[in-house]
């Protein structure tokens, strides 16, 4: 059974070259401050109810609960904001989850020339006619089945994209798995947009979000009343996607890694590295309530992203 599941997870990698990637970066904001602090390594560790977006197989790790997150990235004329609401509920077979996401890219200027019959010059400079915001909205329903040490999960999701010049409606699905060994090792895999997630645009065109696979693992150590987690993972594709620039034979990889130290089950200290840069974070938990913060740097001078999230688990 396990071999069959692994083959099904890796199949979209082999088919990836058949589809056109239009970029699904707007989905990457289905993240939490806790996981962002460890370099975005969420395949094998579900730190809070937002974990469904990383890997539906780990979405219930934190138990039943709710999380709200706010993100601000880049700032200035390129400010990107993101808000997320995620919830999990434990059931007899495993659990179910719900996620709602909104992204906004503001300060987009539409310009025109005062004299359209002449080219732009010192006396005919472009002027701002209007300032708009492009937005992405997404809703997601998730489920996970717990089969002893093997966890299997899936997301079904719906998108609405308003890019000002055009709007689009889409739907799709993710699948994931995670296997836990008794000595603290967890291995996981996920395929995002396994359905190719079509987006139907108001321009009468249709785009497909390419399936993106990822594999990874986590080793957990008990150090008295402290817990140390070492995590590594990578996206895997047969095509170069965005910044997947590390090669291993015919494969394109996006490796990332991180570590988390949990002190007395109250304070968490985190650090991680992904293709975009370094991240650090911290969090606190008390009687089910939690709050997390992450600071994520961006290579190339794009500035920093600040993520703040809070919630309650029971």
pLDDT per residue over 217-255, tens digit each?
999 999 889 999 999 999 887 766 555 567 777 778 889
Q: What is the pLDDT of residue 181?
A: 95
Query: What secondary structure does DSSP assign to 76-124, as a single string?
Result: GGG-EEEEEEEEEEE-SSEEEEEEEEEEEEEEEEEEE-SSTTS--BTTB
Nearest to 235 by CA among 193, 273, 192: 192
Q: Using an 8 Å Cβ cutoff, are 57 and 176 in contact?
A: yes
- Per-domain boundaries in the chain: 2-111+129-313
| Ramachandran assignment for 279, one of left (phi > 0), alpha (psi -120 to 50 degrees), beta (any other) | beta
Residue 249 DSSP symbol: T
Distance of CA 228 to the CA centre of its chain: 23
On the CB side of 63, how many CA atoms lie within 13 Å of its CA? 7
Q: CB-hemisphere CA count at 13 Å for 135?
A: 8
Q: State how far the Cα of 273 lies from the Cα of 257, in Å rounded to an integer.
A: 6
pLDDT at residue 304, rounded to an integer: 78
Residue 68, H or E segment? strand 65-73
Q: How much is the pLDDT for 301?
A: 64
Angle at CA of residue 289, ends 287 and 293, nearest 5°: 135
**How big is the chain by its Cα radius of gyration, in Å?**
21
CA–CA dist 305, 274 (Å, integer): 14
pLDDT of residue 7: 46
Low-confidence ranges of the chain (pLDDT < 50): 4-22
Tell me, what's the pLDDT at 9? 46
State the fold for domain 2-111+129-313. Answer: Porin (2.40.160)
The predicted-structure confidence for 72-104, as pLDDT tens digits, reads as follows 776 555 577 889 999 999 999 999 999 999 988
3-state SS class at 63: coil
Counting runs of H as helices and runs of E as strands, what totals does the chain give? 2, 17
Give the per-residue pLDDT at 31.
87
d(CA 231, CA 35): 11
């Amino acid at each position: 059974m396990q071999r069959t599941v692994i083959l099904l997870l890796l199949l979209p990698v082999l088919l990836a070259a058949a589809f056109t990637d239009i970029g699904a970066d707007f989905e990457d904001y289905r993240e939490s401050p806790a996981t962002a602090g460890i370099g975005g390594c969420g395949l094998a560790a579900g730190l809070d109810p937002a974990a469904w977006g990383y890997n539906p197989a780990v979405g219930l790790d934190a138990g039943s609960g709710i999380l709200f997150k706010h993100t601000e990235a880049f700032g200035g004329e390129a400010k990107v904001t993101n808000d997320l609401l995620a919830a999990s509920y434990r059931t007899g077979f495993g659990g179910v989850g719900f996620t709602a996401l909104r992204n906004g890219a503001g300060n987009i200027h539409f310009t025109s020339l005062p004299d359209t019959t002449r080219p732009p010059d010192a006396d005919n400079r472009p002027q701002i006619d209007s300032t708009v915001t492009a937005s992405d909205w997404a809703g997601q329903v998730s489920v996970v089945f717990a089969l002893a040490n093997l966890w299997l999960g899936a997301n079904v999701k719906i998108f609405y994209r308003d890019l000002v010049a055009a709007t689009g409606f889409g739907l799709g699905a993710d699948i994931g798995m995670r296997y836990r060994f008794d000595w603290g090792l967890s291995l996981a895999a996920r395929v995002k947009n396994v359905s190719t997630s079509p987006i139907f645009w108001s321009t009468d065109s249709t785009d497909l979000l390419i399936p993106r696979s990822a594999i990874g693992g986590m080793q957990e150590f008990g150090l008295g009343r402290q817990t140390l987690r070492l995590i590594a993972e990578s996206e895997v594709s047969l095509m170069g996607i965005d910044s997947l620039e590390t090669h291993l034979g015919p494969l394109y990889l996006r490796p990332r890694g991180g570590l988390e130290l949990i002190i007395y089950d109250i304070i968490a200290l985190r650090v991680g590295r992904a293709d975009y840069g370094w991240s650090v974070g911290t969090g606190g938990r008390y009687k089910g309530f939690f709050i997390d913060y992450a600071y994520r740097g961006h290579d190339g001078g794009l500035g920093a992203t600040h993520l703040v999230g809070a919630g309650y688990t029971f």
